Every structure is written in structure tokens, then in C-alpha cells.
Structure 1
């Protein structure tokens, strides 16, 4: 197996070295360079309030990108994650407000709905052998339509405090940090451990690296793929809860560009679009790169359209570097 993370034994190097692979070093360097550049160009960048804003902006997209990373590690892609997240938020908020369900139950049902979307994606990819791009593109439209049908295009407000509790903040080093940000970081650490330390994680890398070779070694690759898409759906549901906590409403217009933002974070974080190589901690760095670039350019007065242009250039550069490195390795 050619990947660092996939090939790492379950015993040997320290845990932190198995969780932080070589694929994260480039994104980390890019993050530090971007931070240094914007700290020089604008005085506001290094302020505690600005850091708090960046963290809150990264919270939702970063969590979505975590689920996207799991899918891309298997050489798939999920275009539906933003729409699925949005539907999950509407389910949670409407059940809690209109259905008068306890907030915990409403959240659980919303996450379950997102998991069902993920399982459906996985089953269509494995049982009918449809391309992940086509399956998730279709599911994007289904989730988008159901969101607007179920919500009747109405924003759900007046939410109970339990649904927005993760949007509350505490002060750390002079910076206001939301509890949702802690949840995001905890999820990244959890999946970094799972992917580097468990048999399931090794099977995910093996399936993405060479599915036929993985099957011949006894790995149930179809079952792995279904589990990956289902787990990703659960993560999208958690991202939906974080979105509710940040906005304090259930918005049927949410999630329309987050699918592309999540893919951008994954690619900038060093995960290969061809599967089998990458690390979730790199995705967290990639999400921070996107957040810092957009925040820094906004502070510099750069128009939003140019922010999008620069983000697109960064994505192409990241994929080009990945392609060149694969050619050198082959």
C-alpha cells in the first residue's frame, strides 16, 4: 500500500506521528505563510475579535469538510453534503418548534435523516455501481427540493436555547471561542485517531488506494463504502446543528455553496482526489486556509468576486501538486 497513513502499522511510531502525516506539512506551511502575509498587510487581522470570527466561520464548513474527507479518501466525492446539512437543520428546527419535540430528540432525528441520505448514497454507489458524482448530484437536488417543500420556504425562528447552545462562547486567551468550535476540533481529533488507529480506518485507505486489491485481501469494500457515506451523513447532521447554533434559525437557503467550500478545504488540506492518501487534520488546516484567505482579503478591501477567484486558483494549484506528486511516485 503506497500511502503513509494506510501503510502505518498499528504499533510503532508515536500516535501523534501517525495522526499527522507528511501530507499535512505543505498545507501547514501555506497556513503559516497566509497568516504572516495578512498580519503584515492589515493590523486588524491579529486582533482577538477577528480570530474569533475566523473560527466561527470555519466551524461549519470545516465539519462538512470532515465528512467530505472520508468520502474522498475512498476516491469518491459528495456534492450533496451542503443540501443534506440544510435539510437536517430544517428537520431539527421544525420538529423542535412546530412539533414541540424535546430538542435532544429533534436533533437526533435530524442527524438520523442526514445519515439516511448518506446510506442511500453509499448503497447506490455500491449496489447499482453508479458513479459517486452522479449519485450525489442527484441527491443534492432531492435534498434541496425536500428542504424547500418541508419548510415551505419559511425560515424557522424562535428556537429553544438547547438548539443554539453550541453557539455560546467562552473566553480563551482574550478570544471568544464558541462551544461549537470545540466540538469541531474534537471531531477532527476523533476521526484522526479512528483513521490511523483502527481496522476500519485502514480499510478506508485501502479501499481508496486500490479497491480490487483490498477486496482480494478480504476487505468487504462495499460494506466499507456504505459505512463511509453513512458516517459522513452523521457528520453532516452535526454540521447542521453547528449551523443552527451559529445563526439561531433554520434557514432553507443554507448550504447552497458549502459543498464546493468543503471540497476546497479537503483539497487544500492535502487529501488526494484520487483516493487513498490524506489526513483529516490536513482538512482542518485547509478549512483554516480558506477562512483566513477570505477574512484577510476582506480586511484588505478586496471585492468578494476576487476572493472567489483566488480560492479557485488555490484549488487548481493544490490538485496540480497532488497530480505531479503521484506521477513522481509512480
Structure 2
């Protein structure tokens, strides 16, 4: 009995000194698990977040103002978004490689002036003037690419410099005068021609924009060039060691972006029915905003052109919806800026996902 009592006492003493195990916090685990699932989902599908924002915005503005969802207003939103979307497509290619292009607006506006000058002052046929304008825009993009890849200058510094150069040349060539669309061949303003679909009006410029997005969606997702663009932006040194000619990839990206900016210039002429040297001040920020809102990472290597299209539509929807609601322009800019900050913060959170 004594042995039993001592053993039992020892057992009771051991039990008394042992600390109770903490109970699992199931609510916390559930919350963390949900957050991780969302994080992984957005990391694998970067367009889901922007798409949700776009849908919510459309529904909200339609409730507040029934005119928002009317066909004429939607036609206006798409027409306003078209130019920025084309420019943002070129910007997307560059940001995917962890670069940035501040000369977007300057190249687009200067290309539009050159096209108009070729067609009017030089008396060239519309097709020749258009082709030369496209070549000029491509050459401007190639210059950016040469300075980045051969001279090894940072993209920010390169495009900041060419921004000033191209805008200055634009002022010299145009003499700060607007060239009317009526003075140009009809091909120059053709992109602004509308196609009636019931009460909805679709411009040829918008069709060109959608076709460009389809082409580059395929190029980035289905071709070796697209895979090299993503690899270069994700880790340029690892891509180089894997045998990818990263300098060629970067040069091609800046050159193709220049061509896209020139196409945007053609669409711009059709949109304005003129070639004006005084537009494009906000094109740089608007294109970057569309790319960021579309889920493309500013650190490179992640994103899609479909996201950029959605981002451009978000900007157009918010500005149009707030305008219909009677919100002042300054607060419209405030709302867009807030969206950008949220998008960048979300991108930082998504990049922390663990495999």
C-alpha cells in the first residue's frame, strides 16, 4: 500500500507541476487559412482582383445613376479608354521586365504630329504618312532600348531624358499648332469612325485596341519570346544564366512598345479628329495607373495584358461614374490615386506568398 501511495503521490505531484497545453485558436487558424488561400489565389490569378473591382464599380455606379449603364454612356467610356489602353499595353511589356517608361505620352504625341505633318506639309498619301509615323515611333522606342541595353542606363533615367527630348522636338516640328483632321487624308482619322450596334457606338480604334490585346495575350502566354519577357523581369541574372539573351529581350520590348505608342498616336488622331501637340500630359501616369491597377507587378515578372485592359477600364469607369455623380475633377484624381496606392499595397502582400 505504501508503494502504491508513494507511486500515486509521485504521479499526482507530476500531474500538478505539468502546465496545461494551450488550446488551439480555431478562429485564428481559420482566419489565417482564409488569408493564405486568398493570397495564393491572387498570386496565381492576378486579374481576379482588378476584375472584382471593375464589376463592383459598374454595379455601384449603375445603382447611383441609371444613366451610367446606358449604351451611349458605355460607348463614351470605351472610346475614352481606347488610347490609354493601347499606350498601357506597351507600358505593360516594359514593366513586366522590371522597367518603366516615362516617355509614353511624348512618343505618342510626337508620332501623331509627324504623321499629320507627313500627310499635310509633305503632301504624302495617307498610307505612306501612317507607315512613316509608325516607323518613327518604333525608332523612338528602339532608342530607349539602345540606351538601356547598350549604354546600361536605368530605364527611369533614360525615359525621363527622352521624355523631355521628344516633347521638345514635338514643339519644334508642330510649332505648337494643331493640325485639323479635315486637312489630312481620311485614313488618318479613320480610327475615330464609329460602327453603330443598336444604341452602342464602337469605333474602329477600339477594335484595333482589342485586337492588339488579343495578339499580345497570345504572344506573352504562348510564345518563347513571351516566356523570356517574364523570365527577364522575374530575375534577369537567372534568365541570363539559363541562356536567355536578356539584352535582346529588353531591346525588343522597348522597340515593340514604341510601335504600340505610334499605333496609339493613330488612334489618338481619330479620337480628336486632329493632331494636337498640347495633349498627352497625363498619358504617362494614366498608362502606369492602368498597368498597376491591372495587377502587373512594378517589380517585374508577374502580370498580364488582360489585367491591363481591366485596369484601363477601371480608370475610365471611375472617372465617368464620378463625373455623372457630380464629383469635382480634383476628387476624381484623389479616388484614382487612392486606388493606385491600394493596388501597390496589395501587390506587395501578394509577392510575400510562400510556395
Q: Which residue of 2 aligns with 1:155?
A: 178
The alpha carbon displacement at 1:329 in A equals 3.5
Corresponding position: 1:22 with 2:45 = yes
Q: Which residue of 2 aligns with 1:268?
A: 293
Which blocks of at least 5 consecutive residues in structure 1 are unaligned? 1-20
Higher Cα Rg, which structure? 2
Q: Which residue of 1 aligns with 2:207?
A: 182
Q: Is the 8 A contact 1:159 1:248 kept in 2?
A: no
Q: Which residue of 1 aligns with 2:347?
A: 322
Which of 164, 173, 181 is the aligned partner of 1:141?
A: 164
Q: Which residue of 2 aligns with 1:253?
A: 278
Corresponding position: 1:304 with 2:329 = yes
The alpha carbon displacement at 1:221 in A equals 0.1
Q: Which residue of 2 aligns with 1:9?
A: none
Q: Which residue of 2 aligns with 1:243?
A: 268
Summarize deviations over 1:108-149 as a string: whole Å, max 9, x none.
111111111111111111112111111000010001000000
Q: Is the 8 A contact 1:74 1:225 kept in 2?
A: yes
The alpha carbon displacement at 1:173 in A equals 4.3
Bigger mean CA deviation after superposition, 243-252 or 164-173:
164-173
Matches within 5 A, 1:43-122: 43-122=66-145
Corresponding position: 1:234 with 2:259 = yes
Which of 229, 232, 236 is the aligned partner of 1:204?
A: 229
Query: What is the SS of the residue equivalent to 2:202?
Result: strand
Summarize deviations over 1:47-75 as a string: whole Å, max 9, x none.
11100100100000000000000000000
Which of 338, 341, 352 is the aligned partner of 1:313?
A: 338
Q: Which residue of 1 aligns with 2:56?
A: 33
Q: CA RMSD in A?
A: 0.9
Which of 62, 65, 71 is the aligned partner of 1:42?
A: 65
Q: Is the 8 A contact 1:170 1:179 kept in 2?
A: yes
Q: Is the 8 A contact 1:88 1:113 kept in 2?
A: yes
Summarize deviations over 1:246-278 as a string: whole Å, max 9, x none.
111110012111010000000000000000000
CA distance in 2: counterparts of 1:329 and 1:246, whole angstroms: 46
Corresponding position: 1:168 with 2:193 = yes
CA distance in 1: counterparts of 2:333 and 2:286, whole angstroms: 10
TM-score, with length taken from structure 1:
0.93
CA distance in 2: counterparts of 1:172 and 1:321, whole angstroms: 38
Which of 273, 278, 281 is the aligned partner of 2:306?
A: 281
CA distance in 2: counterparts of 1:113 and 1:96, whole angstroms: 14
Corresponding position: 1:192 with 2:217 = yes
Q: Which residue of 2 aligns with 1:293?
A: 318
Query: What is the SS of the residue equivalent to 1:177?
Result: strand
Summarize deviations over 1:164-211 as a string: whole Å, max 9, x none.
111111122430110110000000000000000000000000000000
Bigger mean CA deviation after superposition, 319-328 or 183-192:
319-328
